[in-house]
Amino acid sequence: MRLRGSAGFFRRAVFALSLVFALAAPASGQMRFARPGELPPIDAAIRAAMVDSLATALDSAYVFPDTARAMISHVKTRLASGDYDAMNDPAVFLQAVQDDVLSVYPDKHFRTAALPPASPEETAMAAGRHEDPSGRDRLSQNNFGFRKAEILPGNIGYLELTQFAPADAAGETAVGAMQMLAHCDAVIMDLRRNGGGDASMIQLLASYFLEEPEHLVSWYVRMENETKQSWSHAYVPGKRMFETPLYILTSGRTGSAAEEFTYDLKNLERATVVGERTGGAAHTVTFWFYDFSSFRMGIQMPTGRAISPVTKTNWEGTGVEPNIAVPAERALATAQIEALRALEEKAEDEEARRRISWARTSLEAEQKPVTLKRSQLPSYAGVYGPRRLSVDGETLCSQREGGPRIRLAPMGEDLFKVADADDVRFRFARDERGRVAKLTVTFLDGREDVSDRAK
């Protein structure tokens, strides 16, 4: 069986999400791992060659040299002791080797896999002679991760980003999203479903929220034994938002490049992080492929680590801790309320303050929904000036003479809103005996209509 030596690894180090062996997919689709029993058996010579190849990769590139040496020593000792002698299946053997490597240090980024022989397209891609056009197509079909951009009540911009696509492919889309949000009074960036991606998009997006170029992070690259700095850009198309409050939403699924973006802007005191602690994947990953005659050995391992200019460390294994810790499903509403509260305090225009307060109280009511018992509703029924309030089943309704019946929904103690449109609110006041005695109807435009309850 002929061995083909140290096949070239993919030259571009990328971020990888913890617990996922994210080997690059060929043009034809997702790369397939071999299952036990699928590949021809291997002998002692092949096992030794596979261990030697693994040792070469670890020794030359693994991010922690001392740990790499301990991993190599442990696996070679196991090989020499005959612990792998009965493992003639490449997939089974590599799983055992991976387990032994991880027993030395439980690295979430390290993975091995047996794969079928490379196709001509994969061989060309690995050699850097062929690009995968379908990869860009897949990115564009997903709109490069820019899933939603909208303006929320209170002139708060919202952007849901599910990946950090390379800026050379997604730059136009990113610039368009930033221009849409440019005139918002606050921005919420939702990274709760973002597993990472390319550092160039971090630099581009961060630049919109920084007034001048900032040192975001440094990367130590083991293979080159040097540290490289990553900075935000001096120029971006369109308007910067360096004074616009920024909120970043996170979850336990937020990983890698999404974590770096969050970590960088949090440490620069440029963003408030709302949600859950992130996944904790701070190492860049390189993919190595060694070709044997009837299969390939794939290795994923960390080859670089982040170093923050602020903290002098990174988020590997610990994640990014939020400023406001809430379950991920509550992060958006929490960030909206925080943003509205801050904008309300700063508002100099009375009308703007009133509209912001209206949006904030509506969101707060949604977070603490009120349910009234059917027996409580008749206490509100009666005639209040031009309005008659009555109970229909389990709902309080309001009707002006000759007008339609409007269903009301409770927002809080003695406070209701129009059920299907939050543009009118009904607040009841009680007398000294606790009996409902007055109704104030408030409109979104600031008008009020106050009526006593008819005797």
Residue 109 sits in the same domain as residue 256: yes
Tell me if 285 sits within 8 A of 109, measured CB to CB.
yes
Task: Tell me the per-residue pLDDT of 223-244, one tens digit each, with 9 for 90 and over.
Answer: 988 999 999 999 999 999 999 9
**Residue 323, token pair as written in the block:** 């400023």
Distance CA 189, CA 201 (A): 14
Helix axes 167-181, 133-141, angle to 10 degrees: 20
**Same domain flag for 34 and 107:** yes
How would you class 310 by CB atoms within 10 Å of its CB: exposed for 0-12, middle for 13-18, buried for 19 or more?
Answer: middle
Average pLDDT, the chain: 89
DSSP 325-353: E--GGGHHHHHHHHHHHHHHHH--SHHHH
Q: 170 with 247, same domain?
A: yes
In the prediction, which pLDDT does 204 show? 98
CATH of the domain at 169: 3.90.226.10
Query: Which residues are 388's β-sheet partners?
Result: 383, 399
Q: What percent of the chain has pLDDT over 70?
A: 89
Single out the residue in 313, 343, 368 at which a domain terminates.
368
Closest CA to 377 of 362, 397, 396: 396
Q: Is 125 helix (H, G, I), strand (E, B) or coil?
A: helix
Confidence (pLDDT) at 4:
31
Q: Is residue 340 pLDDT above 70, yes or no?
A: yes
Query: What is the per-residue pLDDT across 30-81, written as a single tens digit (0 to 9) for each?
Result: 457 889 999 999 999 999 999 999 999 999 999 999 999 999 999 999 999 9
Statement to judge: residues 344 and 440 lie in one domain: no
Residues 222 and 304: beta-carbon distance below 8 Å: yes
Instruction: Please indicate, yes or no, whether residues 182 and 85 belong to a single structural domain of this protein.
Output: yes
Query: How many C-beta neighbours within 10 Å does residue 141 have?
Result: 9
Q: To which H or E segment does residue 178 belong? A: helix 167-181
Q: What is the DSSP letter of 164?
A: B
**CATH number of the domain to which 410 belongs:** 2.40.128.50
Residue 389 and residue 274 share a domain: no
| One domain for residues 131 and 81 | yes
Residues 90 and 197 in one domain: yes
Same domain, 328 and 447: no
pLDDT tens-digit readout, 373-400: 889 999 999 999 999 999 999 999 999 9
The domain boundary residue, chosen from 368, 403, 419: 368
Running DSSP on this structure, what letter comes out for residue 197?
B
**What pTM value is reported for the model?**
0.83
Question: β-strands 424-430, 436-443: how paired?
Answer: antiparallel
Residue 24 has what pLDDT? 37
| Residue 305's pLDDT band (cuts 50, 70, 90) | very high
Q: What is the pLDDT of residue 168?
A: 95
Could you identify the residue written with the tokens 């929490």?
334
Among 287, 246, 296, which residue's Cα sits nearest to residue 266?
246
For a pLDDT cut of 90, what percent of the chain falls above it?
78
Q: What is the pLDDT of residue 130?
A: 46
Verify that 65 and 199 share a domain, yes or no. yes
Domain count, the chain: 2
Please state, in angstroms and as integers, the Cα–Cα distance from residue 427 to each residue in 357, 396, 415, following that order.
Answer: 16, 13, 5
Same domain for 382 and 347, yes or no, is no
Domain interval for residue 386: 374-452
Q: Which pLDDT tens digit goes with each residue over 393-451?
A: 999 999 999 899 999 999 988 999 999 888 999 999 999 999 999 999 999 999 999 99
334: pLDDT confidence band, cut at 50, 70 and 90?
very high
The pLDDT value recorded for residue 264 is: 98
Could you read off the pLDDT of 159-182 as tens digits, one per residue?
999 999 999 999 999 999 999 999
Please state the φ and ψ torsions of residue 79, each to the nearest 5 degrees: -65, -45
SS3 217: strand
Whether residue 347 has pLDDT greater than 90: yes
With bands split at pLDDT 50, 70 and 90, how would you rate the model's confidence at 278?
very high
Inter-CA distances, 212 with 116, 236, 263, 292, Å: 49, 11, 18, 51
| Closest to 91 measured CA to CA, from 44, 39, 51 | 39
Boundary (domain end) residue, out of 316, 340, 368: 368
> Is the model's pLDDT at 13 over the cut of 50?
no
* Residue 397 sits in the same domain as residue 336: no
Dump strand ranges (E) for 246-394.
246-250, 272-275, 283-291, 296-307, 324-325, 382-384, 387-392
